[in-house]
Amino acid sequence: METDQQLLEKNVSPSEIKQYSPMAKEWWNTKDGPMYILHDMNKMRLDLVFDGLISNWCLKSWQERAKCISRIKNFRPWLCGGILVEALAKLKAEVTGLDPNEALLEVAKEHIETQEDIRGKCSLFT
């Protein structure tokens, strides 16, 4: 099995990583920041995560999603500045966010630290 670092090196280009750094300061501006669309889509992204867990037999379609997600361990989505990771952590999932962009990793850490309900419950790595 490949390590996280090997997967990143194999699948992400340095130019792709750098293009998001200038947006980091406004990442959590949900009204008119550069990622407001991603924030708006987050509920749909959560639905896609749940649908994927159901289609891979990790969850049953009739189970209450919020209760079931708390039993998911070592869930490792792409960090993307913490938008999806925070939503999963609020549902009590054990989440490790991965992002090769140091600026976005710092933005995610700073934003998570402002929230008591998930502070210390997410692991973030580059």
pLDDT tens across 6-64, in order?
A: 877 788 888 888 899 999 999 999 999 999 999 999 999 988 888 887 777 766 776 66
pLDDT recorded at residue 71 = 66
In terms of Cα–Cα distance, which of 123, 63, 113 is closest to 93?
A: 123
Cα–Cα dist 81/103, whole Å: 8
Helix then strand then coil, % of the chain, to nearest 5: 50, 10, 40
Report which secondary-structure segment, H or E, holds 88. helix 83-90
Q: Which amino acid is at 39?
A: H
Q: 98 near 78, Cβ under 8 Å?
A: yes
Cα–Cα dist 105/102, whole Å: 5
Domains in the chain, CATH or no CATH each = 28-125 (3.40.50.150)
pLDDT recorded at residue 66 = 67
Find tokens 């549902």 and name the residue. 91
